């Protein structure tokens, strides 16, 4: 396998290999309420990422001993379908990476939920990555927040996320799989958009103090736009304009 930095990720005129400017996001489309049998659901297409989220609950906790006396138990399972990635068929058993991502997704969502309102119950969030092309954890968080709202779970805010990468020494908004693989750094960030609070901040690679500050500000601005798309998806769901009805929607 080729090492990091061996692929040129920026063209002569400063464009990325998919034609985007450094501060440009991939196309994002969210649909809420796409599954009939789940209490809440969402589907996101974000660039070449395709992710489906199903939410069940609040319901009685099984096994019972896992129930928490003073709050709801949130369980998240991030899972990549065997055909979701290019190189090889991914094993269907959860990998260490999936276990870790499931945990950070749960921790990114929890601050937005009124967990204390539903003691002893549980809410299960199943995230299926159908196709992956970089930044899937933040795309999953973004879709999961919509699915939780669609399930009617009381929340103080939504949660939306985006990944800032570093390619050829420059910060790049919403990195794709290739940029993640060959770039110099990746910083997935999630926030409660209305409250402006960060609920996920990870970084791999080298970033200066100034770059971290700039990355947070790039993310904050993008998250406001992502939030608009989340709200549009939920609004369309409740105005009866959704996939289920076969309409294109009016926003």
Residues that bind ligand CDP (CB under 6 A): 85-86, 90, 97, 132-137, 163, 177, 180, 186, 188
Backbone angles phi, psi at 59, to 5 degrees: -145, 170
Query: Closer CB to ligand CDP, residue 90 or residue 237?
Result: 90
Considering the complex, what minimum distance in angstroms separates the CB of residue 237 from ligand CDP? 26
Considering the complex, what minimum distance in angstroms separates the CB of residue 239 from ligand CDP? 32
Within its chain, how far is the Cα of 72 from the centroid?
22
The SS3 of residue 13 is coil
Query: Closer CB to ligand CDP, residue 58 or residue 183?
Result: 183
Query: Closer CB to ligand CDP, residue 64 or residue 86?
Result: 86
Rounded to whole angstroms, the Cα distance separating 180 from 191 reads 21
Beta pairing partners, 30: 44
Nearby residues of 10 by Cβ (< 8 Å), 6 or more positions away = 16, 167, 168, 170
Within its chain, how far is the Cα of 1 from the centroid?
28
Considering the complex, what minimum distance in angstroms separates the CB of residue 238 from ligand CDP? 30
Considering the complex, what minimum distance in angstroms separates the CB of residue 114 from ligand CDP? 27
Rounded to whole angstroms, the Cα distance separating 200 from 215 reads 13
Query: Closer CB to ligand CDP, residue 50 or residue 137?
Result: 137
Rounded to whole angstroms, the Cα distance separating 250 from 184 reads 40
Burial class of 91 by CB neighbour count within 10 A (0 to 12, 13 to 18, 19+): exposed
Query: Closer CB to ligand CDP, residue 97 or residue 225?
Result: 97
Query: Closer CB to ligand CDP, residue 90 or residue 166?
Result: 90
Backbone angles phi, psi at 222, to 5 degrees: -65, -35
Peptide bond into 152 cis (omega under 30): no
Considering the complex, what minimum distance in angstroms separates the CB of residue 194 from ligand CDP? 24
């Amino acid at each position: 396998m080729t090492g990091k930095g061996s692929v040129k990720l920026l063209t002569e005129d400063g464009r990325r290999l998919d034609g985007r400017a450094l501060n440009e996001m991939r196309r994002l489309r969210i649909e809420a309420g796409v599954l009939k049998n789940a209490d809440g659901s969402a589907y996101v297409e974000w660039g070449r990422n395709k992710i489906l989220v199903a939410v069940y609950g609040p319901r009685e906790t099984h096994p019972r001993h896992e129930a928490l006396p003073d709050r709801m138990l949130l369980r998240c399972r991030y899972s990549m379908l065997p055909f979701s990635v290019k190189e090889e068929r991914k094993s269907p058993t959860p990998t260490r990476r999936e276990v870790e991502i499931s945990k950070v997704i749960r921790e990114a969502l929890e601050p937005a939920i009124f967990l204390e309102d539903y003691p002893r119950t549980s809410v299960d969030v199943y995230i299926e990555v159908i196709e992956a092309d970089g930044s899937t954890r933040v795309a999953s968080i973004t879709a999961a927040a919509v699915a939780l709202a669609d399930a009617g779970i009381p929340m103080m805010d939504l949660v939306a996320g985006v990944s800032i990468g570093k390619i050829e020494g420059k910060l790049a908004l919403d990195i794709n799989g290739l940029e993640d693989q060959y770039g110099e750094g990746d910083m997935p960030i999630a926030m409660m958009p209305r409250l402006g609070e960060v609920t996920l901040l990870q970084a791999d690679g080298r970033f200066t103090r100034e770059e971290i500050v700039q990355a947070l500000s790039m993310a904050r601005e993008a998250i406001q736009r992502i939030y608009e798309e989340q709200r549009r998806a939920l609004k369309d769901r409740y105005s009866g304009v959704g996939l289920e009805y076969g309409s294109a929607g009016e926003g």
